[in-house]
Amino acid sequence: MSRHEASPTTVQPASNHRPNACCFCWCCCCSCSWNEDRERAWRASRETKLETIPNCEACTKPTAEEVRGWAQSFDKLMKSPAGRNVFREFLRTEYSEENMLFWLACEELKSECNKHTIDEKARIIYEDYISILSPKEVSLDSRVREVINRKMQEPSSHTFDDAQLQIYTLMHRDSYPRFLNSAIYKSLLQSVSRSSSES
């Protein structure tokens, strides 16, 4: 190939703009090409060993009452699978989705009883979200890191409880107010309100 020929492997810059506005992907579950492309790019750029955590939690479409309830309290939002999906979609736009992924991984770990599985999942969570070498490292203070480092000698299903609470508090104080003012939340609220008034 001559120096002047274009390389066939030239990569187009990724765009955050949705090329296929087929729907408002309120829970990133629809099968439009935008979702497929985004998922491929996401997997390539942020490969995680926690394959048990899906790209998106399975859930039913939220009601208008449920969506309005998310503005009343962060707890209501986080207790709702659909709420977590929408909030996670928002966090992705702020490049802080790892906070939700870490929180979900901790929730999954707490439901484990098998010692071998707990050890393995704790190690993966540590490597993916606590290690300073990880691109998905979450923001924790030194005291919590020290506690985790001690607990990792004999991991349990509650090894990351302090860290999980700190990330929950961070999302609540920092991201949640912006989420309520975001186009993602307002569009969904408008969409479900319109649907409920038509039915």
Structural domain includes residue 166: yes
Q: What is the pLDDT of residue 161?
A: 97
CA atoms within 13 A on the CB side of 199: 8
**What's the pLDDT tens digit per position in 121-142?**
999 999 999 999 999 999 999 9
Structural domain includes residue 39: no
Structural domain includes residue 36: no
Structural domain includes residue 68: yes
Cα 87 from Cα 59, distance rounded (Å):
14
**What's the pLDDT tens digit per position in 43-98?**
444 443 333 344 566 777 899 999 999 999 999 999 999 999 999 999 999 999 99
Structural domain includes residue 52: no
How far CA 67 is from CA of 128, 144, 194, in Å, comes to 31, 33, 12
Q: pTM of the prediction?
A: 0.71
How far CA 55 is from CA of 2, 4, 36, 41, 47, in Å, comes to 42, 41, 11, 12, 11
Across 188-197, average pLDDT: 87
Structural domain includes residue 143: yes
Cα 75 from Cα 69, distance rounded (Å):
10
For residues 91 and 175, is the Cβ–Cβ distance under 8 A?
Answer: yes
Task: Please count the other Cβ atoms lying within 10 Å of the Cβ belonging to residue 11.
Answer: 6
Structural domain includes residue 175: yes
Domain tally for the chain? 1
Across 163-170, average pLDDT: 98
Could you tell me what percentage of the chain is helix, strand and coil, using 3-state DSSP and rounding each to the nearest 5? Answer: 55, 0, 45
For residues 112 and 124, is the Cβ–Cβ distance under 8 A?
Answer: no
Q: What is the pLDDT of residue 127?
A: 97
Domain that holds residue 126: 64-197
Percent of the chain with pLDDT over 90: 66
Structural domain includes residue 125: yes
Residue 155: give its domain's CATH number: 1.10.167.10
